[in-house]
Copies of this chain bind each other. A is one copy, B any other.
Amino acid sequence: MLIAFQGEIGAFSEEAVRALVPGAEPVPQPSFEAVFEAVTEARVDYALIPIENSLFGSVHINYDLLEAHALWIAGEINLRIRHHLMAVPGATLDGLREVHSHPQALGQCRTYLRTHLPRAQAIPAYDTAGAARMVARRGEPHLAAIASERAAAEYGLVVLAPGIESNHQNYTRFLLLTRSPEAVPPGLPDAPAKTSIVYSLHHNVPGGLFKSLAVFALRDIDLFKIESRPLVGSPGQYLFYLDLAGAHTDAPVQRALDHLREISATLKVLGSYPGGRTVG
């Protein structure tokens, strides 16, 4: 079973693929667009995409790609993003002079670096897994990378200090995409418990958002996520992203969605799927 993801071997997305569908083969892709193409054109069985991070927000571009492709959300997983300091075997903390990683990772580990490695220079790289690979290739003991545990294992590096990020509340939520609601990989919990939708309202309806949420509140349907996104070039127009409790085939959810269709300009159901575990 092939699952496409964006990034290199050792990236956090690859870790998420392995945690969600053990035994699947992660297939690296250079961009999110390439991930969507690979699954749409059936070169892989599924795709895994990040949809939101607890520090860096929703990945709107993946919502756009979900709207543009006829794919279905079949599962989700929350992965804790832990940053480890790693170097070649034999390297010591005292000997480190350069720490390579993605600027976000360097920023998140700034307090550790200032306190423990004041003489090491932080050098930005374009991704964490790539920094680990470079440190392994060069093989010099004064070089370190900040990356995932998986990257250390993949490139034969040793972790000198685990979990050095200041904010431990760093989680990324990933979605598993299929070409049809029927094609769900074995091993996922059966019953869909969540539904994701995207909708827009007719222009200039006062209190439109409030009314659209009433279709769920009046039926006691819980919401897990709500987000407005301005439609560029259409001032005052928004897309709304909603995650709600229940499957789209449950009677109350079905009635709420019918009701929402009456009052919205557009509505797309992106998928119903089991609520995801948190790992890492």
Known: A33-B110, A102-B126, A210-B217. Contact between A54 and B232, CB under 8 A?
A: yes
Q: Encode A55-94 as 1/0 by CB contact (under 8 A) with B.
A: 1111111001000000000000000000000000000000
Closest to A58 in B: B57
Of the listed stretches A40-48, A191-199, A222-230, A258-266, name the one at the interface; the rest are far from the partner chain: A222-230
The listed residue (B61, B106, B213) touching A210 by CB distance below 8 A is B213
Closest to A228 in B: B226
In the bound complex, residues from chain B placing their C-beta under 8 Å from that of A214 are 210
Number of copies: 2
Check A127 for interface membership: any CB of B closer than 8 A: yes
A57 touches B60 (CB 8 A): yes
Instruction: Tell me how far the C-beta of A225 lies from the nearest C-beta in chain B, rounded to whole angstroms.
Output: 6
Q: Encode A117-145 as 1/0 by CB contact (under 8 A) with B.
A: 00000101111001000000000000000
Check A103 for interface membership: any CB of B closer than 8 A: yes
The listed residue (B33, B102, B222, B232) touching A107 by CB distance below 8 A is B33
Closest to A55 in B: B61
B227 touches A32 (CB 8 A): no
In the bound complex, residues from chain B placing their C-beta under 8 Å from that of A60 are 53-57
Check A233 for interface membership: any CB of B closer than 8 A: yes
- Residues in A lying within 8 Å of B, measured CB to CB: 30-33, 52-61, 64, 102-103, 106-107, 110, 122, 124-127, 130, 167, 169, 171, 206-207, 209-210, 213-214, 216-217, 220, 222-230, 232-233
